[in-house]
Each structure stands twice: as structure tokens, then as C-alpha cells.
Amino acid sequence: IDVPEINEEQSKVYNNALINWHHPEKDKADSYVLEYRKINRDEEMLSWNEIEVCGTSKVISDLESNCNYAFRVRAYKGSICSPCSRELILHTPPAPVFSFLFDEKCGYNNEHLLLNLKRDRVESRAGFNLLLAAERIQVGYFTSLDYIIGDVGITKGKHFWAFRVEPYSYLVKVGVASSDKLQEWLRSPRDAVSPRYEQDSGHDSGSEDTCFDSSQPFTLVTIGMKKFFIPKSPTSSNEPENRVLPMPTSIGVFLDYDKGKVGFYDMDHMKCLYERQVDCSHTMYPAFALMGSGGIQLEEPITATYLEYQETM
């Protein structure tokens, strides 16, 4: 009996792990055994956990945060057992997954932003009205950022959430912001300066260096044109080539409220791309802003129903 192969592209980890595998049809197995175990930092090998599965995919819950897990599968046909598949290693998120949807009430601009019914996807149609009126525009025009936030705030603990930014997006900002800072931005969106420019005025006054070090009640990174832009820092090179990374397929945000720290992750490799201190003296919210065309899709939690949905696709 042939060895099953784990499908690395369709296997992933978020709040739970989803493992998919395929097996040649000619060797139709009666059942499979999925094995998994945690890999300790000192590479100590723990014993394998085994789950018997009838299909070719399985959701595994109760995995620890910030750990590497190895997965492998073998097929059974009658009394015959195949060798184990090649192992797949997945790294779990650094904290429990924080569940929220986009808030359609607080600051949501329905002229510029289009929210789906599930409230887990937002698109920016900013600029269409401008295009209709463009024949009257002969001088420069200031376009504002349109903010949208999560509908649940954070007041303690460690939390992680992830989303995908559409590749066609021109300018998207993602991160966290305090309730009072958001009120300030949403109260006067036309006048509100982008947080990045508050932080770095562009003048060589030296004042921005103090801003870098001091903890502020928000941190937003910029994503656009298929790139991830690392904010300027006094401790590292600010040359463009060191600040511009390819945009990850899926981006994660890790907020440690109690330590006042926020990090941004490449979900494909669970690798931290950027982190900094953030002032968490007020309630913190997942915050997003779009300018020009763009789209953001929140990652869907992995559940057993998620699996059924995938199989019907």
C-alpha cells in the first residue's frame, strides 16, 4: 500500500491545526492514522499522539501556543499498514487566537468601505466618487484614510489574530490602537494625520527619535503594492531596501497587553517581522485603515464545520 502524502499547501495552523493529505486512488485505504507530537526546544522527542481518521483531513485542537508540532500519517487497508508519510512541522501562533469581526458602527464609512454580511471582509471603494468628479479637479486633492476597527476590545492578556490583504491593495494600515486614539482619529478623519506621519514628521528635528523610543497608544504598519513596510527605527537601518519586505500571504498581529508589546507576523512561517512597545493604558482594538483600492479578509477560525465547508468546495 502506497504512502499517503500530507498536502503542505492545504495544511495550516491558526486557532487549531488543519491537516490535509492525499493518497493514490488505486490504494483506497480503509482508514488512516494521523500522528502528531510537540517538538521541544532542546529537540527532545515526545511520544506521538494517534488519531484514527476515515477521511483525508482532520482538525486537531488543544495545541499549545508558540510551539512546533510534527505531523505524519499512515494508511490502513485491512491488516496492511503503509509506512508513515514525510513529517510536516507547523509552528503554532504565539498566543491564543482573538475572535472579532469588523465593527460596522464605530467610524465605519459606508460611502468608502464595503463590508460583507459576515463582517469578516472589507473592501475600499474610496476614490470612485472622486473619479466621477475628476473632470472638475485641476489641482491636488487630499485623500483620507478610512478606518475600520474590531468589534471587541482588549484589556488584558496575550492575543493573536490574522488576516489577508488583497494583493491589489494600494495602501492598507494594520495594527492596534487605543480607544481614545481611535476616537481622536474617527472624530476628524479628514484632518487626522496618518499615524506614521505623526511618528515621523520628515523634518530632521530629532524629535522623531524620542517618539520611536517612547511608547505610544497605537502601532500601525503599512502594507501596499504587494509589500510590507517596516516603520522607521533609530536602532536599525532605515534604507528603503531594509524596510521593504514582500507582503506575506497572511499577516498575524500579536498583542501582549500586560507587557505593552505588539508584533507583526508572517503567518506562513510564523515569523515575527516587526515588533515594538505600545502604550496599553486604555482598551486596545484591532485597527485597520485603507486608502485607494484595497481589501482585507480576516482569517477564518479552523473548526470542524470549516473542514466540512472545505470538502464541499
Contact 126, 159 (CB under 8 A): no
- Topology, domain 113-188+214-298: Jelly Rolls (2.60.120)
Provide the 8-state DSSP code for 150: B
Domain ranges of the chain: 5-92, 113-188+214-298
- Do the beta carbons of residue 90 and residue 111 sit within 8 Å? no
What would the CATH number be for the domain defined by 5-92?
2.60.40.10
Residues 121, 44 contacting (CB under 8 angstroms): no
What's the sign of the alpha-carbon dihedral 164, 112, 220, 260? negative
Element (H, E) at 17: strand 17-22
Amino acid at position 91, single letter = H
pLDDT in tens, 133-150: 777 777 765 567 899 999
Edge-to-edge strand ranges of the sheet holding 271-277: 113-115, 121-124, 294-298, 158-165, 251-256, 261-266, 271-277
Distances (CA, A) of 281 to 150, 179, 195, 257: 18, 10, 18, 9
pLDDT attached to residue 241? 80
130, three cell numbers: 472622486
Mean pLDDT by 10 residues, the chain (313 residues): 92 96 82 94 81 94 94 93 95 97 87 92 78 73 81 97 96 96 76 40 37 76 96 78 92 98 96 96 96 94 68 48
Q: CA–CA distance from 105 to each of 220, 274, 310 (Å)?
A: 21, 30, 31
Q: What is the H or E stretch that residue 54 is in?
A: none
Phi (first) and psi of residue 242, to 5 degrees: -90, -10
Q: Which amino acid is at 163?
A: F
